[in-house]
Amino acid sequence: MQPRLQKKFRRYDWDRAAEYYQKYWQKQLKPAQDKILQMANLRPGERVLDLACGTGLVTLQAAASVGRRGRTVGTDISEMMVQKAAHLAEQAGYTQASFLRMDAEKICFNDAAFDVAFCALGLMYLADPLQALREMRRVLRPGGRAVAAVWGQRSKCGWAEVFPIVDARIKTDVSPLFFQLGTGDGLALHFHMGGFEEIESTRIATRLFYPSAEAACAAVFQGGPVALAHANLDEPARSQVCKAYLESIESFREGDGYRIPGEFVIVKGRKARQIRPASN
């Protein structure tokens, strides 16, 4: 599929998922998001960009840390995600937080406009994650830091069968490189290729708990990146994919619920404090 068309599908997938996203993923993603914020060590007054911000789970915590003297901007390709995030920021009274619809591979901000750039669980969905990291570096001031999290190795993510199960019925284009960044030193190498220095990488093992089969299915089929593909299936096909997915996570069943293993990789890098002249 052409990248532009793929991006359009991705955008509508996440528009569909926006309504269910926090219900099914807020708790599950918290360990990775907390680690990002811990590694960034935000200070009052700092300017923060949060790429692929979703409903603003990281952006809003960052807004609390940088305070009124600081500024946080969350950007996302999905209009519905950005609208939800802006609404939550308004409810929380965070006038220092704003949200814009924007492609992570083409950031519309000036060079050196931010102290910190984040991307939490977003890079796996991009056709060119390296381009996004280069853009993150460009908009950081010298000495600024970037922190990103991705899902880890496929074999450590018990929910991974969802992609082939949906792909067997309708092409989604989500899966081919999804776990590439989380395997080995993939993400750290991308930071290196993106021009970052002082790179630190950490891996977290986690468990995604869902209290019922319905919740486990809704998380992946309604609250995630295959939401549009799933919505386009007819009723019998929806039951089939749900049944196949539950079979794939059967070994993680605990009573009525599921405790599914997962893994996150979180990497931090710094833009050089002094810009060196390019070597020939």
Closest CB 128 distance from ligand SAM, rounded Å: 9
Helix (H, G, I), strand (E, B) or coil at 257: strand
What residues from 222 to 241 belong to the interface with ligand SAM (CB under 6 A)? none
Pattern 56-75, ligand SAM, x by CB under 6 A: -xx-----------------
Looking at 77-85, 210-218, 229-237, 268-276, which segment touches ligand SAM (CB under 6 A)?
A: 77-85
Residue from 35, 37, 48, 54 that binds ligand SAM (CB under 6 A)?
54
| Cα gap 59→130, rounded to integer Å | 22
Does residue 218 touch ligand SAM according to CB under 6 A? Answer: no
Total residues binding ligand SAM (CB under 6 A): 22
Closest CB 229 distance from ligand SAM, rounded Å: 15
Closest CB 49 distance from ligand SAM, rounded Å: 12
Q: Which residue has the tokens 């519905």?
A: 80
Does residue 33 touch ligand SAM according to CB under 6 A? Answer: yes
How would you class 236 by CB atoms within 10 Å of its CB: exposed for 0-12, middle for 13-18, buried for 19 or more? exposed
How would you class 266 by CB atoms within 10 Å of its CB: exposed for 0-12, middle for 13-18, buried for 19 or more? buried
What residues from 81 to 140 belong to the interface with ligand SAM (CB under 6 A)? 81, 103-105, 120-122, 125-126
Distance between terminal CA atoms of the chain? 37
**What are the C-alpha distances in Å from 106 to residues 4, 48, 75, 170, 191?**
13, 17, 11, 29, 17
- The tokens for 157 are 């993510």
Residue from 28, 65, 72, 78 that binds ligand SAM (CB under 6 A)?
78
Pattern 3-32, ligand SAM, x by CB under 6 A: ----x--x---x--------------x---
Rounded to the nearest 10 degrees, the angle between the axes of helix 79-92 and helix 3-40 is 30
Element at 267 (helix H, strand E): strand 257-270
How would you class 224 by CB atoms within 10 Å of its CB: exposed for 0-12, middle for 13-18, buried for 19 or more? buried
Residue 14 or 179 having the CB closest to ligand SAM = 14
Residue from 39, 52, 217, 260 that binds ligand SAM (CB under 6 A)?
52
| Cα gap 8→2, rounded to integer Å | 10
**What are the C-alpha distances in Å from 220 to residues 210, 225, 258?**
11, 8, 13
Closest CB 35 distance from ligand SAM, rounded Å: 11
Residue 125 or 191 having the CB closest to ligand SAM = 125
Query: Are residues 187 and 123 in contact, defined by beta-carbon separation less than 8 angstroms?
Result: yes
Residue 126 or 249 having the CB closest to ligand SAM = 126
Does residue 145 touch ligand SAM according to CB under 6 A? Answer: no
Which residues make up the interface to ligand SAM (CB under 6 A)? Answer: 7, 10, 14, 29, 33, 52-54, 57-58, 76-78, 81, 103-105, 120-122, 125-126
